[in-house]
Amino acid sequence: MANPLARTTSWKGSLPFLLLALLAVTVVGLDQLSKSWVVASLPEGHWWSPLPGELGDLFRITHTTNSGAAFGILPNQGNLFILIAVAVVIAIVVYYRQLPAGDWLIRISLGLQLGGAIGNLLDRLRLGYVIDFIDISFWPIFNLADASITIGILLIVYRLWRIEHMERGKASSERSRVDGEAQS
| CA atoms of 97 and 107, how far apart (whole Å) | 10
SS3 content of the chain, % helix, strand, coil (to 5): 70, 10, 20
**pTM, rounded to two decimals:** 0.79
The Cα 96–Cα 90 span in angstroms is 10
pLDDT at 180: 63
Strand ranges in 35-90 using DSSP code E only, listed in sequence order: 47-48, 59-66
What does the pLDDT read at residue 67?
Answer: 86
Distance between CA atoms of residues 172 and 170, nearest Å: 5
Q: Is 146 a catalytic residue?
A: yes
Local structure of 4: helix, strand or coil:
coil
Catalytic residue among 31, 123, 135, 146: 146
Instruction: Return the domain boundaries, the chain.
Output: 18-168
Find the mean pLDDT for residues 15-37: 94
Whether residue 34 is predicted with pLDDT greater than 50 in this model: the reply is yes
Using CA atoms, how far residue 145 sits from 102, 134, 152, 177, in Å, is 26, 11, 11, 48
pLDDT tens per residue across span 79-126: 888 999 999 999 999 999 888 877 889 999 999 999 999 999 999 999
| SS (HEC) of 83-121 | HHHHHHHHHHHHHHHHCCCCCHHHHHHHHHHHHHHHHHH
The pLDDT confidence band at residue 9, using thresholds 50, 70 and 90, is very low
- The pLDDT of residue 6: 44
Judge contact between 26 and 118, C-beta under 8 A.
Answer: no
Phi/psi at 60 (nearest 5 deg)? Answer: -140, 160
Name the β-bridge partners of 132.
Answer: 64
Q: Rounded to whole angstroms, how far apart are CA atoms 66 and 129?
A: 5
Choose, from 31, 123, 132, 135, the residue flagged as catalytic: 132
C-beta of residue 63 within 8 angstroms of C-beta of residue 44 = yes
